[in-house]
């Protein structure tokens, strides 16, 4: 499969710019187990989403994370499993659904996406971010048989695999971009160079995708 040329973006800005002023459903809103830390620092994505999109509803499967959000005074956050039907919780469709760094945690991502389709209209946007299976920064560690990975991750994604998964669950890709995470000193030094080189974008840390229901 010949891959299309893609550019890069800031992951957070990709989500916020496409959610601003919309009715949003944020999946994985608690960002557990980092909820308390990110509430204190103000780095929680759900807080930023509510600033640009006051009609943001949160959903998370982690009861402790949801309780922490409620104690912090954040309204309209719900405990629930998006791998089950969402229509009972949310009978009306959302304009934007945000699933940032969620798919790689799920044993049944297809069921999850089918559930999201139930609360989408034909004009709704699904925003997904996922880690890249071919991340350049991972390769040097593998020479020493070291893999740094979140303990809850069960998968990585590529253009072909995620495109196929979305097709099978009734979605089509509208936008596909790469992101380079500035999560340590070396990344902050190297990323400006990596971002300038078009042929490196499929070796980025992850991908940002906008999708809609197929017609």
- Write the CATH number for 98: 3.40.50.150
In a domain, 6, yes or no: no
Q: If pLDDT is split at 50, 70 and 90, which confidence band does 1 have?
A: confident
In a domain, 5, yes or no: no
> How many residues appear in the chain?
215
Evaluated on CA atoms 78, 104, 181, 132, the torsion sign reads negative
Whole-angstrom Cα distance, residue 51 to residue 95?
16
pTM beyond 0.85: the answer is yes
In a domain, 2, yes or no: no
Residue 161 structure tokens: 């695999």
In a domain, 44, yes or no: yes
How many domains does the chain divide into?
A: 1
Range of the domain at 123: 11-213
Q: What is the pLDDT of residues 2-57, one digit of tens each?
A: 999 999 999 999 999 999 999 999 999 999 999 999 999 999 999 999 999 999 99
Q: What is the pLDDT of residues 136-175, one digit of tens each?
A: 998 888 888 988 787 788 999 999 999 999 999 999 999 9
Q: What is the pLDDT of residues 66-120, one digit of tens each?
A: 999 999 999 999 999 999 889 889 999 999 999 999 999 999 999 999 999 999 9
> Is beta strand 94-100 parallel, antiparallel or unpaired with respect to 206-213?
unpaired
In a domain, 4, yes or no: no
In a domain, 24, yes or no: yes
Q: What is the pLDDT of residues 125-146, one digit of tens each?
A: 999 999 999 999 988 888 889 8
- Evaluate whether 54 touches 86 at the Cβ level (below 8 Å): no
In a domain, 114, yes or no: yes
In a domain, 59, yes or no: yes
Whole-angstrom Cα distance, residue 30 to residue 12?
16
pLDDT score, position 127: 99
């Amino acid at each position: 499969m010949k891959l299309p040329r893609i550019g890069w973006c800031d992951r957070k800005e990709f989500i916020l710019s496409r959610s601003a002023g919309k009715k949003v459903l944020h999946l994985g809103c608690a960002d557990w187990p980092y909820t308390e830390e990110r509430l204190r620092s103000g780095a929680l994505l759900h807080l930023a989403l509510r600033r640009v999109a006051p009609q943001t509803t949160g959903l998370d499967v982690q009861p402790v994370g949801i309780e922490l959000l409620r104690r912090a005074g954040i309204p309209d956050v719900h405990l629930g499993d998006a791998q089950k039907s969402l229509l009972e919780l949310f009978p009306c469709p959302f304009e934007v659904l945000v699933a940032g760094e969620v798919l790689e945690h799920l044993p049944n991502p297809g069921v999850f996406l089918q559930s999201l389709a139930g609360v989408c209209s034909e004009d709704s946007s699904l925003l997904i971010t996922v880690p890249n299976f071919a991340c350049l920064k991972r390769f040097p560690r593998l020479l020493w048989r070291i893999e740094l990975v979140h303990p809850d991750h069960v998968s990585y994604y590529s253009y072909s695999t995620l495109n196929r998964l979305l097709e099978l669950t009734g979605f089509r890709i509208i936008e596909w971009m790469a992101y380079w995470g500035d999560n340590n000193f070396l990344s902050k030094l190297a990323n400006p160079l990596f971002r300038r080189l078009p042929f490196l974008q499929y070796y980025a840390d992850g991908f940002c995708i906008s999708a809609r229901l197929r017609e």
